[in-house]
């Protein structure tokens, strides 16, 4: 799989809970230099002050570098932020996918790392087959409509 894809965040290292909490409590520095675009994926990640500032940094960069980054159009900063939040949500889901969870059958323990990786791989295959099936249905539906509607 292409590791540069937006949904391939399996090996991403987010900011720690401690750093995000200190920033939230105004006791530590915020996103800057090396961490300017590094996200926090812990509890309450979507509303975390850290991530809000990161998204603002990303939006400022996108707005300031539109031409250099081939970013054309008249999107507002709010629309750009909404796009970033959507990508971040997808990225977080990808990051979380291979993390151990409560074992599906033995509810009194967490999955091992190997079990979590195996579950993630099985889920990916299921998703792939599901998307493929839905696309086939859509293609057949459009073809039938085209044939019978003409």
pLDDT along the chain (150 residues), means of 10: 58 91 95 90 94 95 82 84 92 81 80 81 81 78 68
Q: Do 10 and 63 fall within a single domain? A: yes
Q: Do 133 and 146 fall within a single domain? A: yes
CB 25 within 8 A of CB 31: no
Indicate the DSSP class of residue 37. T
Which of 97, 122, 139 is the last residue in one of the domains?
Answer: 97
Domain that holds residue 127: 100-150
Q: Do 124 and 147 fall within a single domain? A: yes
- The tally of domains found in the chain comes to 2
Q: Do 25 and 36 fall within a single domain? A: yes
Q: Do 80 and 31 fall within a single domain? A: yes
CB 91 within 8 A of CB 114: no
Q: Enter the pTM of the model.
A: 0.68
Grouping H, G, I as helix, E, B as strand and the rest as coil, residue 137 is: helix
Q: Which two tokens stand for residue 117?
A: 């990786």
pLDDT of residue 83: 92
Q: Do 21 and 81 fall within a single domain? A: yes
Q: Do 91 and 107 fall within a single domain? A: no
Q: Do 7 and 44 fall within a single domain? A: yes
């Amino acid at each position: 799989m292409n590791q540069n894809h937006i949904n391939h965040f399996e090996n991403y290292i987010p900011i720690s809970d401690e750093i995000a909490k200190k920033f939230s409590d105004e006791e530590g520095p915020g996103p800057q230099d090396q961490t300017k675009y590094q996200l926090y994926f812990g509890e309450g990640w979507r509303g975390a002050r850290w991530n809000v500032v990161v998204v603002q940094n990303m939006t400022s960069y996108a707005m300031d570098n539109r031409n250099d980054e081939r970013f054309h159009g008249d999107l507002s900063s709010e629309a750009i932020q909404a796009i970033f939040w959507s990508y971040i949500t997808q990225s977080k889901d990808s990051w979380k996918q291979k993390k151990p969870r409560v074992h599906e059958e033995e509810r009194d323990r967490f999955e091992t790392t190997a079990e979590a990786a195996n579950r993630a791989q099985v889920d990916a295959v299921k998703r792939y087959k599901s998307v493929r099936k839905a696309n086939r249905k859509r293609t057949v539906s459009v073809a039938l409509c085209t044939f019978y509607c003409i």
